[in-house]
Amino acid sequence: MEHVGETFSEQTIKIDGNCYSECRFENCTLLYGGGLIPTIGKCHFQNCQWQFEDGAERTLLFLKQLYHGMGQGGVELVEATLSVLRQSPNPPSG
- In sequence order, what DSSP letters do the residues of 44-81 get, joined into one string? EEES-EEEE-HHHHHHHHHHHHHHHHSHHHHHHHHHHH
pLDDT > 60? residue 65: yes
**pTM check: above 0.95:** no
Predicted confidence band at 56 (pLDDT cuts at 50, 70, 90)?
very high
pLDDT (tens digit, 9 = 90+) per residue, 13-27? Answer: 999 999 999 999 999
pLDDT > 60? residue 91: no
Task: Please report, for residues 3, 22, 36, 80, 85, the alpha-carbon distance to residue 88 in angstroms, rounded to integers and kept in the order given.
Answer: 25, 21, 21, 15, 8
pLDDT of residue 93: 47
